[in-house]
Amino acid sequence: MQQPIISIITVTYNAAAFIEDTIKSVIVIGGEKVSFIIIDGESTDGTVDIIEKYRNHITYFVSERDNGLYDAMNKGWAKAANNSYVLFLGAGDLIIDLPDISNLNSDVIAGEVEIGTKFLFKPKNDFRLKLGNTLHHQALLIKKAIHPAAPFNTEFKTYADFDFNQRLLKSGAKIVIEPHLKGYAMEGGVSTKFNQKESLAIVKKNYGWFYVRLAQLYYLLRHEI
């Protein structure tokens, strides 16, 4: 039986101002124990030139047109080894700490994420995941073997990762919180402005109208609308 590895996937498009910091964090923190995959959407701003500087540290790299963020993330997932725990790191995001996964027996491993200079996001693996996205991808390791097929529904443009997280919960995946998994998320990005309509559509699809009503209250209590 193959020992598990960590595959870090970064999706980029015209990210020359941020991508180098992300690559360096993967090299320094991950070192030889990670497989590093970069999927670029045909950047024209010098992103590709920066990536090429570190080509010896990158397991797989392609620059080609895609159909948006989650299509590119699906491409990265397909390239990850089957014995991988997969983590998605955006351009500008950083790895702070990675756990030793050799003795972990979990489907999903979640950690804390520093959100810019604003606050520290702490993951929740309880009923709150049925209402909102309580796991952030910058510190989320998902065992590819439990879902070999493309994980993201590209009909959701903002929160396809939330949809996947809910489907993992529904499937009975074992989700644990690991103190030695930590990431940093750069402020900004596709989900900066809360998209209540899409979030509720995901809740409805996965859990039905009762949980939609609970989610609406949950968002109000969290001051997200």
Statement: residue 222 has pLDDT above 60: yes
* pTM: predicted TM-score of the whole model, two decimal places: 0.95
> Percent of the chain at pLDDT above 70?
96
- Can you tell me the distance from the alpha carbon of 16 to that of 36, in angstroms, rounded to the nearest whole number? 18
Report the SS3 class of residue 221. Answer: helix
Predicted local distance difference test score (pLDDT) of residue 225: 39
Q: pLDDT at position 198, please? A: 98
Q: What is the pLDDT of residues 159-202, one digit of tens each?
A: 999 999 999 999 999 999 999 999 999 987 665 689 999 999 99
The Cα–Cα gap between 12 and 39 comes to: 6
Average pLDDT score over the chain: 94
CA 31 to chain CA centroid, Å, is: 19
Write out pLDDT tens, residues 30-77. Answer: 988 899 999 999 999 999 999 999 999 999 999 999 999 999 999 999
Among 3.40.710.10, 3.40.50.300, 3.90.550.10, 3.30.365.10, name the CATH number for the domain at 5-193: 3.90.550.10
How do the domains of the chain map onto residue ranges?
5-193
